[in-house]
Structure 1
Amino acid sequence: MKKWVYFFDEAAAAEKSVGGSWDGVRGLLGGKGAGLFDMTRAGVPVPPGFTLTTQACNEFRRTGKFPPGMWGQALAALKQVEKRTGKKFGSSSNPLLVSCRSGAKFSMPGMMNTILNIGLNDEVVEGLSRLTNNPRFAWDSYRRLIEMFGATVFGLDDEVFEHPMGEHKKKKGYQLDTEMTAEDWKALVGIFKVEYKKHIGEDFPQDVYKQLELATQAVFESWMGKRAVDYRRATGISDDLGTAVNIVTMVFGNMGFDSGTGVAFTRNPSTGEKTMMGEYLLNAQGEDVVAGIRNADPIANLSTHMPKVYEQFMKITSRLEKHYTDMQDVEFTIERGKLWMLQTRNGKRTAKAIVKIAVDMANEGLISKADAVRRVTPDDVDTLLHPQFDDAARKKSEVLAKGVNASPGAAVGQIYFDADTAEKMAKEGKQDVIMVRPFTKPDDVHGMIASKGILTSEGGATSHAAVVARQFGIPAVVGASAMKIDMERRLMIIGEKTITEGEWMSVDGATG
């Protein structure tokens, strides 16, 4: 029978199946999967798990159902993960929870689906609460699952869940998610389940195996989702590659303030400087950082909060950069003081950073001068010639707000508050457009690509908006927190100034 599933410690078997080529392994397991396999082989702390191959995805696309034998192999692999972790999937006494993550051969940040905390239901959440003696963590994890499941598997708008959560926080006088108590999260789970049934027409599934099956199917289907297709068209990635699915034991950054999650680049992806650049949040899960929903702390501050974890993290990332001879983009979680690495991949960067990193790595002896030259493409050179603001004009201009200089370059255009309108005004109206959002989501990528500049009120240098803007050479400023966006009235307020949709604005991605 064809092998559709590989454990993270089966790197050698995966290599053998594709004739020994690591490029072939990336094609089989996807970039995320290949990174997890490689890190596991190198002794880096990676949670136990397994990968369903891109071949399974392509077979699913062809027939509309899982290939024969695949789901049986996946369930058998899950039993092995139970043995390795000492936990049981669906158990209320010692529950195993997993994430279901996409991962194509070539990095497509945020374009496909991920679901966390699979395995929670009404009984398991009570057991997890007792086991960890942390009911806040358990109920927070459960509401995240319902929210992500509804949005990912059934395509519900984020507002279906964000609106009642915002109303609850407003009623309680909370500003931050971290102010929510266990009782708050428990109440919100009840509200979310009502919203889920109202929009889906059935209850949130209590069968944990059904959760995993639907999540896996949703990840396969996301390969041909609009945002993924738009991204591939813009980057020249073939539709034939498919995505792998990585089933990973959950480790939790939201168990308290001895836990956290983050994203980091081993060099600055905007300038190319040889300094670690990243962000982390305490008492949070990974999507909080990537989505930019909460403004995170600079990675350097981790040396104060958790010095031993920071030291271990810096050693691991240095090893990874030397191993791959390129700047790495890593994701990590800290659970009760223990570091876990969840991803490593070659990081997206600006054209300026491409040149700087290539030259520096050649001088450091990591790559040859010939390799350094090959890493700079004609498109990169073209991007380096992007317009910049004149210094004299910049000094005369009125600064409305400041944020993180996420992607360099100068942009002037008319502002629009959603991706569809931004794309329409750019393509049909032939306007220069600045897309303004509280934070961007993968569904916004078509509007981002059509825009001359991007501006967000939330998020940081590793948020979705920043990563995509850098890749496509779009000037971007993120986390301009002085800016308050009113989506209903289609306007933004900065101090005493009100700016309506369609007005002109300049974005300086070099200075923020």
Structure 2
Amino acid sequence: NPRFAWDSYRRFIQLFGKVVFGVNDEKFDSVLKASKKKQGVTDDSKLNVDSLKKIVVKYKKICENQTKRKFPTNPNEQIQLAIDAVFRSWMGERAVVYREKNNITRDIASGTAVNCQTMVFGNMGNDSATGVVFTRNGQNGIKEIEGEYLLNAQGEDVVAGVRTGKDISKLQKEMPKSYKELFATCKKLEKHFREPQDIEFTTEQGKFYILQTRTAKMSAFALIKTSVDMVKEKLIDKNRALTRIPAQQLEALLHKTIDYSKTKDFRQLANGIAASPGAASGIAVFDVKRAIAMGENNTKVILIRIETKPEDVPAFFSSEGILTSLGGKSSHAAIVSRGMGKPCIVGCSELKVDYDKRKFNANGTTILEGDTITIDGSTGTVYAGIVPTVAPQVTKDFET
């Protein structure tokens, strides 16, 4: 399977170059974009062996220009360099900011560990897939399996939001055996951990694997609904139902929502995937560093990205809301925003974002950096201007 081998190698060089050598991701992205354009395809999975070989050569050149050394080919050297990079990441800006904002002190955690494990591949052909699922809806808490998957892809494609995945319900038709195993696993893991789970999985040539599970990040509304429901289901007691909801997240229940009686007075720019509920208005900003600086000066900003990367997280704290043109409900932007209680819209494909010119076009309208917009994370709608808001309604579950 030469296509699989070359696809895996180009992915490895890109991730290794970024994490270990500190290469700017956009250098790799521009090579990939140009290669897809030259071959006349839109998806990475459609690139042929010849294109992938040329990408590998260019990727290695990018790394060698940065490091002034040949790209390492010895697996032992590669793994040692990767381990060192993970240990270094503990003091990276993103990790430091995250610990500060979440009050993770040295006595709670004073370092990180490194797991080395065998990899499984979702990019071995159309009998392989990868995805992310939540055992309950992360926005409203309803007991339903929610998530996305991609055929012939790796997990990073779903999480990074490089491609917008298919709804998990379609897996039942495309891969009935894997869907059945996934459904059973969701029930088993939720019962064991007594918390809604965020599960990453891969199917490699028909064989189903669980990569990881963790407590799902949910909106405040979803946390309250799941607390009430899980008490009724006898999964948890009333004391646990209260203590599992972070106090700071309850503030999100007090955030105002769009006044829908006034929306007709504002231009509707685009529609995307509603990823984290609530309304947010602010100045459109396309750069992470500018969003941080403006947010720290008490300017209300909406961070606009094509897709978000983990290193963009510091800007999430400084922004009122997040808007991306790519990605789905399982993407990095969606999950982190929900956990922070920040309104978020992802997969807004009608947005044509231009970082260099600091603008986006949507259905014939151009929004420049500095223009005001409003995002409705509950419906996925983007408006021009500042749409009025109203006080939120208290739900029955909150009263409970």
What is the DSSP-based 3-state SS (H/G/I as helix, E as strand, rest coil) of the residue aligned with 1:423? helix
Report the more deviating stretch, 299-308 or 157-166: 157-166
Q: 2:185 aligns with which of 295, 316, 330?
A: 316
1:386 aligned to 2:386? no
Q: What's the counterpart of residue 447 of structure 1? A: 315
1:168 aligned to 2:35? yes
Q: What's the counterpart of residue 341 of structure 2? A: 473
1:238 aligned to 2:105? yes
Look up the equivalent residue of 1:511 and give its one-letter code: T
1:411 aligned to 2:280? yes
What is the DSSP-based 3-state SS (H/G/I as helix, E as strand, rest coil) of the residue aligned with 1:323? helix
What is the DSSP-based 3-state SS (H/G/I as helix, E as strand, rest coil) of the residue aligned with 1:246? coil
Q: What's the counterpart of residue 369 of structure 2? A: 501
Shift of residue 395 of structure 1?
A: 4.1
TM-score normalised by L of structure 2:
0.93
Partners of 1:204 and 1:354 in 2: how far apart?
Answer: 47
Q: What's the counterpart of residue 490 of structure 1? A: 358
Partners of 2:98 and 2:278 in 1: how far apart?
Answer: 21
1:65-104 to 2 correspondences below 5 Å = none
Look up the equivalent residue of 1:470 and give its one-letter code: R
What is the DSSP-based 3-state SS (H/G/I as helix, E as strand, rest coil) of the residue aligned with 2:195? coil
1:114-129 to 2 correspondences below 5 Å = none
Shift of residue 161 of structure 1?
A: 0.9
Q: 1:336 aligns with which of 202, 205, 208?
A: 205
Q: What's the counterpart of residue 195 of structure 1? A: 62
Look up the equivalent residue of 2:226 and give its one-letter code: I
Partners of 2:110 and 2:147 in 1: how far apart?
Answer: 30
Shift of residue 267 of structure 1?
A: 0.3
1:356-435 to 2 correspondences below 5 Å = 356-428=225-297, 430-435=298-303
Partners of 1:238 and 1:458 in 2: how far apart?
Answer: 34
* Runs of 5+ unmatched residues, structure 2: 381-400
Partners of 2:295 and 2:82 in 1: how far apart?
Answer: 35
Q: 1:222 aligns with which of 85, 89, 113?
A: 89
Partners of 1:425 and 1:170 in 2: how far apart?
Answer: 36
Partners of 1:344 and 1:194 in 2: how far apart?
Answer: 37
Q: 1:511 aligns with which of 360, 371, 379?
A: 379
Shift of residue 426 of structure 1?
A: 1.5
Partners of 2:110 and 2:200 in 1: how far apart?
Answer: 24
Shift of residue 195 of structure 1?
A: 1.5
The one-character-per-residue Cα deviations of 1:190-242 (angstroms, maximum 9, x if unpaired) are 11111111121111101110000000111111111110111111111124432
What is the DSSP-based 3-state SS (H/G/I as helix, E as strand, rest coil) of the residue aligned with 2:113? strand
Shift of residue 167 of structure 1?
A: 1.5
Look up the equivalent residue of 1:190 and give its one-letter code: V
Partners of 2:244 and 2:33 in 1: how far apart?
Answer: 46
Aligned residues: 378
TM-score normalised by L of structure 1:
0.73
CA contact (8 A) 2:135 2:197 kept: yes
What is the DSSP-based 3-state SS (H/G/I as helix, E as strand, rest coil) of the residue aligned with 1:345? strand
CA contact (8 A) 2:274 2:378 kept: yes
Shift of residue 474 of structure 1?
A: 0.6
Partners of 2:307 and 2:336 in 1: how far apart?
Answer: 12
What is the DSSP-based 3-state SS (H/G/I as helix, E as strand, rest coil) of the residue aligned with 1:301? helix
Q: What's the counterpart of residue 461 of structure 1? A: 329
The one-character-per-residue Cα deviations of 1:28-52 (angstroms, maximum 9, x if unpaired) are xxxxxxxxxxxxxxxxxxxxxxxxx
What is the DSSP-based 3-state SS (H/G/I as helix, E as strand, rest coil) of the residue aligned with 1:392? coil
- Cα 1:452–1:336 shift into 2, 3 Å: same
Partners of 2:246 and 2:304 in 1: how far apart?
Answer: 30
CA contact (8 A) 2:141 2:223 kept: yes
Shift of residue 173 of structure 1?
A: 2.0
Partners of 1:377 and 1:291 in 2: how far apart?
Answer: 26
Partners of 1:407 and 1:204 in 2: how far apart?
Answer: 41
Partners of 1:485 and 1:340 in 2: how far apart?
Answer: 36
Shift of residue 152 of structure 1?
A: 0.2
Shift of residue 163 of structure 1?
A: 1.1
Q: What's the counterpart of residue 391 of structure 2? A: none
Shift of residue 377 of structure 1?
A: 3.8
Q: What's the counterpart of residue 52 of structure 2? A: 185
Partners of 1:349 and 1:180 in 2: how far apart?
Answer: 36
Partners of 1:416 and 1:380 in 2: how far apart?
Answer: 25
| Identical pairs, percent | 47
Q: 2:5 aligns with which of 129, 133, 138?
A: 138
Partners of 1:448 and 1:437 in 2: how far apart?
Answer: 11
* Runs of 5+ unmatched residues, structure 1: 1-133
What is the DSSP-based 3-state SS (H/G/I as helix, E as strand, rest coil) of the residue aligned with 2:304? strand
Partners of 2:374 and 2:15 in 1: how far apart?
Answer: 35
Q: Kindly report the root-mean-square deviation, in angstroms, between the aligned alpha carbons of the 2 structures.
A: 1.1
Partners of 2:182 and 2:194 in 1: how far apart?
Answer: 18
Q: What's the counterpart of residue 390 of structure 2? A: none
Partners of 1:255 and 1:377 in 2: how far apart?
Answer: 41
The one-character-per-residue Cα deviations of 1:390-446 (angstroms, maximum 9, x if unpaired) are 120134432111111100110010000011111111213x31100000011111111
Partners of 2:361 and 2:249 in 1: how far apart?
Answer: 36
Partners of 2:89 and 2:289 in 1: how far apart?
Answer: 19
Partners of 2:26 and 2:245 in 1: how far apart?
Answer: 41
